[in-house]
A and B are shown apart, each in its own frame.
Chain A
């Protein structure tokens, strides 16, 4: 009887819980793509710009100029959508911020510091073209690049803390003995950061390369397109090959830290020794359907052992299990896509080593175009896997997500409004970026604003409106 009551109580959720979770998922899922550009794009611009300045490569310099203009658009919406998250931490999760703000806050302070550095040097860099000595202008990218990496580390360390809480004790329900530096300096933070940092290079590398792959498919086979493809593709290649290894080491930690998450990742309903690798499959009424089992491989991949089992869901109380199917499918999508992308880049460089240029092959270019949305899907799937897999906890084993949410039933309206707003912003960004590319192809280089002073003295609107 008591047990039934307890389970029932656990299911009484504040009205604001589900919409708050969806709101967070939407705003984080949208921002994370732009954040990747903030982290990885400066390094690519740096490489192109460096070639331009130090090797006198005009094509590379041209690429750097255009990428800088694109980054002005992307970083602007990245900055504001990041601000949305800062607000939402308090607006949606008062129970988390009120109780644990002083435990998890310090990394955010350092992230703010690196965001400052990024924003300052972005402003100088964007407006510095033709206004500064070229070599000094190039140097402005360095602090941006470093700050982007450090900022990633700080933000990810907070997520790592939610997975593996540290730096405090709870005595009689009170949070005591707070050690703010512990959040910033945990092992978990390092591995999660590495995983995310590399993911950012994959997303941006494949996305930018895809733009030039499209150009080559349409017959634009000049050096501009080859270099525009190669620079980001090199970054993406290194990242795509490193990622499975980093992911593997990170995954090994999950077995000890969050057995429920690992069970959901692997769709392990029961503890099996050794555990199979279960590809695909859905859990319906406690039974796994439509899965392809490969014996022993689950233990090898998840536990680095031929015998150690993946702890099954049967060992975990029902009120502490995450939504299993979503976690499992998201996790396997990420792993599947990541593996595919690694094989793809290996194929390209292997062929290149054998003196075959796959850029001449239309099928490869098509694959390179598809790699961009795939990389984004893998990124999103990875976040869904780790976040949904941690449920019902917001701070693992310490604070339930339902205890962190406020009591805002009307948050559904906010979610609807946010969905509309972000759709409009996405359309705006796509329209503007595409129009920039169109004008560049037409031979314009500087892209003056259409409301510029020329309006006052010349009759340009007809020409511009074309």
Chain B
């Protein structure tokens, strides 16, 4: 395994972790936004607060990890992608800022009116962030970011692959969040809330599943390289995502939300990995291969040391956080 490939793998692990854990936090904004009036939605919004409150900042750091690993490991492609996709990047960034700030403000808001304002900002921002990050992924995967310099400011992210990428990102985030919220509400003994969330998560799951597979059709024309990968090397992952997604829906239907968390993670992980494996060996599709894009070898090696340290220091701490927050004692 070359240094470049090892760093690219570490980078992709970050993308995957952000999609799964950051995604589940963003997705909860969908249920918050559609929870209804302040009286009817109070219980659900409190649950959202409980579920993502202790973890969202830690999950958010995966994004920082991805950015830093990218610019350190593959600096020229980072500069090219940032210059080309500056608009969706800025819009995603706006969402990130508004989501985090409004979430913290809402928790300590003094009046209902303030909480409503901050809550609407939090929930809306939670939806636009994954959408725009999805369009970024679509722009790269469809070969619209050139190796150096700048591609088209608009068509690089306003194209079929990007738009589907955005919708899929929102859908998978909402699906993951729904499964986690159902499990959290059930563990806390809020059975009515869990039942209401279950129905909505099932609906989100079905719609997202349909969109994911419908999106494959335009890919053939719009992103032929990715299409070839998805129908070739990455086909097992595509199949796995279908199976895991269906299993999640079935488990939710029979009220086994705790187990459904695992299958939901597997479903989304295989969709995201499908993209990664599908566009391999390209870093920027049709433009730069991973093997050609690496920075200095000494830096790549040092970066792997940092990643190794992260695995030793961060992963146990992160596990401890998840174990605590998913425990019964913390559910109340």
Partner of B61, one of A72, A112, A408, A432: A112
Q: Which 10 A-B pairs have the closest CB atoms?
A: A105-B72, A101-B75, A102-B295, A98-B79, A90-B82, A76-B104, A435-B110, A178-B296, A80-B100, A123-B54
A94 in the interface (beta carbon within 8 A): yes
A239 to chain B, nearest CB (A): 26
**Contact indicator B97/A120 (Cβ below 8 Å):** no
Partner of A127, one of B78, B105, B296, B325: B325
- Interface set of B (CB-CB < 8 Å, partner A): 38-43, 45-46, 49, 53-58, 60-61, 63-65, 67-69, 71-76, 78-83, 86, 89-90, 93-94, 96-97, 99-116, 118-119, 148, 150, 295-296, 298-300, 302-303, 306-307, 309-310, 313-314, 317-318, 320-321, 324-325, 329-330
Nearest opposing residue in chain A for B53, CB measure: A127
Q: Known contacts being A76-B57, A97-B82, A116-B314, is A84 close to B97, with CB within 8 Å? A: yes
A459 to chain B, nearest CB (A): 10
**Contact indicator B43/A456 (Cβ below 8 Å):** yes
Nearest opposing residue in chain A for B38, CB measure: A451
A40 to chain B, nearest CB (A): 18
| Mask: chain A, 66-86; 1 = CB below 8 Å from B; 0 = not | 000100110111011111101
Which A residues from 401 to 421 make CB contacts under 8 A with B?
406, 408, 414, 421
Q: How large is the interface on A (under 10, 10 to 19, 20 to 34, 35 or more residues)?
A: 35 or more
Interface residues of B, dominant DSSP: helix
Nearest opposing residue in chain A for B61, CB measure: A116
B25 to chain A, nearest CB (A): 12
Q: Known contacts being A106-B302, A180-B299, is A72 close to B69, with CB within 8 Å? A: no
A72 to chain B, nearest CB (A): 6
Q: Known contacts being A105-B72, A435-B108, is A77 close to B101, with CB within 8 Å? A: yes
Interface residues of A, dominant DSSP: helix
Q: Known contacts being A178-B299, A180-B296, A421-B94, is A105 close to B105, with CB within 8 Å? A: no
Could you say which residues of chain A place their CB within 8 Å of the CB of B65?
112, 116
**Contact indicator A464/B93 (Cβ below 8 Å):** no
**Contact indicator A455/B38 (Cβ below 8 Å):** yes
Bound-state Cα–Cα, A181 to B78, Å: 21
Bound-state Cα–Cα, A18 to B39, Å: 49
**Contact indicator B79/A73 (Cβ below 8 Å):** no
A15 to chain B, nearest CB (A): 13
Bound-state Cα–Cα, A464 to B307, Å: 48
Q: How many A-B residue pairs have CB under 8 A?
A: 265
- Interface set of A (CB-CB < 8 Å, partner B): 69, 72-73, 75-77, 79-84, 86-87, 89-91, 94-95, 97-103, 105-106, 108-113, 115-117, 119-124, 126-128, 131-132, 143, 175, 178-181, 406, 408, 414, 421, 425, 428-429, 431-432, 435-436, 438-439, 447, 449-453, 455-456, 461, 464-465
Could you say which residues of chain A place their CB within 8 Å of the CB of B309?
110, 113
Partner of A101, one of B61, B79, B306, B320: B79
B244 to chain A, nearest CB (A): 27
Could you say which residues of chain B place their CB within 8 Å of the CB of A435?
108-111, 114
Could you say which residues of chain B place their CB within 8 Å of the CB of A124?
54, 320-321, 324
Partner of B110, one of A98, A101, A106, A450: A450
Could you say which residues of chain B place their CB within 8 Å of the CB of A72?
104, 107-108
Since A110-B306, A112-B65, A435-B111 are in contact, a sample of 15 more A-B pairs with Cβ atoms closer than 8 Å, ordered by chain A residue number, is A79-B57, A80-B101, A83-B93, A94-B83, A97-B71, A101-B75, A112-B310, A113-B310, A116-B317, A123-B325, A406-B86, A436-B110, A453-B46, A455-B42, A464-B111
Could you say which residues of chain B place their CB within 8 Å of the CB of A122?
57-58
Could you say which residues of chain B place their CB within 8 Å of the CB of A94?
79-80, 82-83
B178 to chain A, nearest CB (A): 20
A339 to chain B, nearest CB (A): 36
Nearest opposing residue in chain A for B107, CB measure: A449
